[in-house]
Structure 1
Amino acid sequence: MGYEVEVLTGFPNYPGGKVYPGYKIKAYQREIVEGVPVLRVPLYPSHDQSGAKRALNYLSFAAAASVGSLFLKRPDVVYVYHPPATASLPALVLRALKGVPFVYDIQDLWPDTLAATGMMERSAVLNTVGSFMDQVYRRAAHVTILSKGFKEKLIERNVPATKLTVIPNWTDEAQIQLPEPNPARAAELGFRDRFNVVFAGTMGKAQALETVLDAADLLRQSAPSARFVMIGGGVEVEGLKQQAQDRELSNVTFLPRRPPSEIGEVLGLADALLVHLKDDPLFAITIPSKTQAYLMTGKPILMGVRGDAAEMVKTAGAGIAFEPQNPEALARAVQEMLALTPAQRQSMGAAGREYYFAELSLAAGAQHFAQIFEQVARQHRPYDALKRGIDVAAAGAGLMVLGLPLGVLAYMVRQKLGSPVFFKQVRPGLDGQPFTMYKFRTMTDERGPDGQLLPDSVRLTSFGKFLRSTSLDELPELWNVLKGDMSLVGPRPLLMDYLPLYTERQARRHEVRPGITGWAQVNGRNALSWDEKFEHDVWYVENRSLVLDLRILLTTLQKVVKRDGINAQGEATMPKFMGSPSA
């Protein structure tokens, strides 16, 4: 698509935990893979069941990649593939030191997946991982997820919906070749005269493949022609082989792991393809990556995963869904598939292949990512890093210089309006994330007979009007600027209640940190209509620069002296925003 791409990764060792032939661990290695520059950094290779070794694998790469990232040419945007969560550390380093935004692509929800797969069981560690993930989501410019269930889960964790995009996975279309079935090859692999249900992929704890062995045991009598063919590697393979041998399950065959370029041959010989995961709530909101490969091959699917994955197969008309970790349900699904005519099974497979290319293909997914990368690069300009430095320096200096005047104002507010001195309210900040904004109090807490607060015009005292007209009530927001909640210049932070009322264009005001002053403030302030104010805010987002910020700050000083645009016509401040007619 014309983008310049560079990859920062480790030395290849997945899934076996051993470095691939032709590679050896060293300080770094640069190479070109299909025209793409690749920088490899050292790591501890391990993917076994040891939590300590797995953690060392993740952390060693994160540390080496964090250093390695500093030697890359500054990118416009970083794409981070998760898991593991530690892969975010180099992106966090680039964001902190060079102001580079990153897009976080989530394939597994952590710590949920760690707990569900048994990789980590200590609650303290899981809580720590959860807290770390919250920080990653907060700092990511955008988060992509593979299912609607993931999106709903992250919204529950207070990740703004505007920051989330569902992009289903595609498969390696170029690698998976689907040759015409070869009778001789079918006989060689034992596929002739059997109804072959193929599972291809990693065999770990999450796949819970003991269910397949139990179903095979049930099918020995009820469907003797049925056979399960298990292809791949993983930590559970040897144990499953031993169990099958001990139970004399002649209708279960294990084949070694094959690269994508060779797996098409076996998938093409299958009568049905199997997907299975543990019956865990987490997996009800995920879509196993092999689903896309199976759909593309045009073979009917037996889906042993609840939720989004089962719904995808049903929507596509591509197979049969059954209850996971239920051997009887799997056995019934195999019998049901076996009872269909070859033409019916072929129709199922064709429907799945059509659905894949219409909804899930590489072309569709790449276009979605390209749009997000363009959006993020546009929203996070190199100037933003400089802007943050200016904010910190100015806010810090302002708080020190104005320390005594702020103390005097606080005393006067206490004397005239009572406690509390500060007005605190949760407002939406960058990407709509909530933060607590601090201002000097300007209104009383007078209430009517019904216990409700009186209108602003009644509660706003003459002293409060003075604070507002001079903008002295805004000075405590310097603390918000220093913390990173706000900027000196940007769209004013409004109310959380307004977030669902914005049009798509109006919501763009949250692509930057809110400001103490902004383009709308120097072009009419509260005398503007809501639509006019939002249009000024979005114009600032699209045109922000150092020169524009300096112009806004200087104009703000002039406006404060003249006390322009303090009120909307007929209002003490601004009427409540009820949504735009175009929304």
Structure 2
Amino acid sequence: MTQAPLKIAVVSQYFYPENFIINDIVRELSALGVHVEVFTGKPNYPGGEVFPGYTANDPVEDRFADTVTVHRAPLRPRKHGGAKNLILNYLSFVANGVKYFRRHAKRSKFDIYFVFAPSPIISVIPALAMKRVHRAPVFLWVQDLWPESLEATGFVRNKFLLSIVGLLVRGLYWAVDVLLVQSRAFIEPVKRYARADKINYYPNSYLQQDESGEVSPLPESLTALLRAHFCVVFAGNLGSAQGLSTVIEAARTLQAEQSQARIVMVGTGSKAVWLSEEKHKWGLDNLIITGAYPRSAMAELFALSSALLVTLKRDEIFSFTIPSKVQAYLAAGRPILGCLDGEGARVINDAGAGITCPAQDGAGLAACIQSMQTMPMERREQMGAKARAYFLKHFELRAQCKTLVRMFEQRIEQDKTTR
């Protein structure tokens, strides 16, 4: 008798056409023969407005990768930032997810509820509501540490409120069956709120751009710049966690030293306007801010970059994190410049993939850029090759998805033996 495929409900506030790793994981799980359905909201990240073709109101269903049904609950868009808008956005997903997703749990009888949980951690609540209708293990993939990340980003500073959030996190961790953490350094902080035997390391993975099947060309002006200069490229979110004042300091130092290096910032986020203002304030001709490009343009961008840049703020919480762009940079096989502490720096150094300096050390970052620029091309190519090899060994998406399926199957068998 042919065994029925696993039936997985993926619950995530964010999903395609928003750009998150969960998109590629869902596509790969489906390719592995897993029956996947996605439960999400209306796409509105990062711009804050609901994407064209969608409306904020009314639940809808659509298809992803031809084989995956996507259930979308109504969602209040995050609009243009601010604590109130973000809180209302988060709460609307929870409330509408509970309301609209529960009916599918009984009808479909999933084997696993798999929750992709960047902030906010409360996005697990709709999955817990589904579990109450039809019991199945809930896997929570923790991408951010709450309440620590709320305090570190300045979103919540009141100690009493932080303690309340801590109690909420403890309750949510208690209610789920398995906690997956994206960094080994997450294990100890998560143990403050959950039993150690629930916690498993499961890193972020990455789909290599040359396998995605989509290509979007870069503007000729940008490709000309990348070919003409030693360009250090930052690609991703321009937010408070990235410690972008460090980039400004490094650019000022390099300009004062008449370095020919360029720092190219590709992306958008809450600090994008501030970054542009600082560029003009200090007359930083060596700092180029391009705005965002689609992921399908990243292969060309990375290939033309002299080195790739990752930065984070100096805070204990961020030292626990491996920024997802690190996996993308490793996959690209380009040398990496890291201005960060902890796990992210450890991965870059263990791989031999580049040069690192402490978080928020603008002078140190400038020195790293100068060092990378002056080293022989052959050494930079060796760093890129080591980056690629490390990625294939530790973070390649297809291998990681097979590992995830094995985790699901082991949990299901464990539950059968304990009934």
TM-score computed with the length of structure 2 as normaliser: 0.87
Partner of 1:96, secondary structure, is: helix
Q: Pairwise mapping of residues 330-369 of structure 1 onto structure 2 (< 5 A)?
A: 330-369=365-404
Look up the SS of the partner of 2:228 in the other structure: coil
Relative distance call for 1:178 and 1:66 in structure 2 (3 A) is: closer
Contact 1:43 1:60 in 2 (8 A): yes
Counterpart of 1:266 in structure 2 is 301
Matched letter for residue 269 of structure 1? L
Residues 1:176 and 1:300: Cα distance change in structure 2 (over 3 Å): farther
1:105 aligned residue (127, 141, 144):
141
Q: Who wins on radius of gyration, i.e. which is larger?
A: 1
Distance in 1 of aligned mates of 2:219 and 2:124 = 48
Aligned-partner Cα distance in 2 for 1:201–1:69: 31
Q: Tell me what 1:255 maps to.
A: 290
Larger relative contact order (CA 8 Å, sep ≥ 6): 2
The answer to whether the Cα contact below 8 Å between 1:177 and 1:265 also exists between their aligned partners in 2 is: no
Question: In structure 2, what residue type is equivalent to 1:359?
Answer: H
Q: How does 1:468-487 map to 2 (within 5 A)?
A: none
What one-letter code is carried by the residue in structure 1 that aligns with 2:36?
V
| Post-superposition offset of 1:179 | 11
Matched, 1:63 2:103: no
Paired residues of 2:173 and 2:193 also in contact (CA < 8 A) = no
Give the superposition deviation at 1:110. 0.7
Q: Does 1:118 align with 2:154?
A: yes
Structure 2 gaps of 5+ residues are 1-31
Query: SS state of the match for residue 371, structure 1?
Result: helix
Name whichever of 47-56 and 335-344 sits farther off. 47-56
Note the C-alpha offset of 1:175: 6.7
Deviation string for 1:232-278 (max 9, x for gaps)?
01011011101101110000001121111112211111101000010
- Give the distance between the partners of 2:72 and 2:58, measured in 1 at CA: 9
SS at the partner of 1:191? helix
1:304/1:323 contact within 8 Å kept = yes
Alpha-carbon displacement from aligned partner over 1:540-576 (angstroms, at most 9, x marks no partner): xx163xxxxxxxxxxxxxxxxxxxxxxxxxxxxxxxx
Q: How much has 1:322 moved relative to structure 2?
A: 0.6
Shift in Å, 1:87: 0.8
Q: Does the CA contact (< 8 Å) of 1:13 and 1:45 recur in 2? A: yes
CA distance in 2, matches of 1:326, 1:365: 34
**SS of the counterpart of 1:366?**
helix
| Distance across 1 between alignment mates of 2:218 and 2:163 | 54
- The answer for the alignment partner of 2:253 in structure 1 is 218
Equivalent position amino acid for 1:8 in 2: F
Q: Does the 8 A contact of 2:319 with 2:343 survive in 1?
A: yes
1:207 aligns with 2:242: yes
Aligned to 1:300: 335
Once the two structures are superposed, what CA deviation does each residue of 1:521-558 show, in whole Å capped at 9, x if it has no partner? xxxxxxxxxxxxxxxxxxxxx163xxxxxxxxxxxxxx
1:7 counterpart SS class: strand
How much has 1:125 moved relative to structure 2? 2.3
Q: What is the Cα deviation at residue 192 of structure 1?
A: 3.3
Instruction: Determine if contact 1:179/1:264 at 8 Å carries over to the other structure.
Output: no
Question: How many Å separate the matches in 2 of 1:323 and 1:75?
Answer: 45
C-alpha distance in 1 between matches for 2:212 and 2:113: 31
Offset at 1:50?
A: 1.2
Instruction: State the number of aligned residues.
Output: 382
The corresponding residue for 2:167 is 131
One of 234, 237, 244 as aligned partner of 2:272: 237
How far is the alpha carbon of 1:158 from its aligned partner?
A: 5.1
Identity across matched positions, percent = 35
Is the alpha carbon distance of 1:234 and 1:208 closer, same or farther for their aligned partners in structure 2, counting shifts above 3 Å? Answer: same
Equivalent of residue 45 in structure 1, options 65, 68, 77? 77
Distance in 2, Cα, partners of 1:101 & 1:268: 42
**Aligned residue number for residue 141 of structure 1:** 177
Cα-Cα RMSD: 2.1
The answer (yes or no) to whether the contact 1:179–1:265 under 8 Å persists in 2 is no
Q: Distance in 1 between matches of 2:258 and 2:350?
A: 28
Judged with a 3 Å threshold, the aligned counterparts in structure 2 of structure 1 residues 280 and 543 are, in CA distance, closer, same or farther, namely closer
Q: Secondary structure at the match of 1:358?
A: helix
Aligned-residue offset at 1:93: 1.1
> 1:170–1:361: 8 Å Cα contact kept in structure 2?
yes
TM-score, normalised with respect to structure 1:
0.63
Contact in 2 for aligned 1:15/1:47 (Cα 8 Å)? no
User: Equivalents in 1 of 2:270, 2:162: separation in Å?
Assistant: 22
Rounded to whole Å, the distance in 1 between the matches of 2:86 and 2:218 is 43
Amino acid at match of 2:208: E
Distance in 2 (alpha carbons) for counterparts of 1:292 and 1:101 = 28
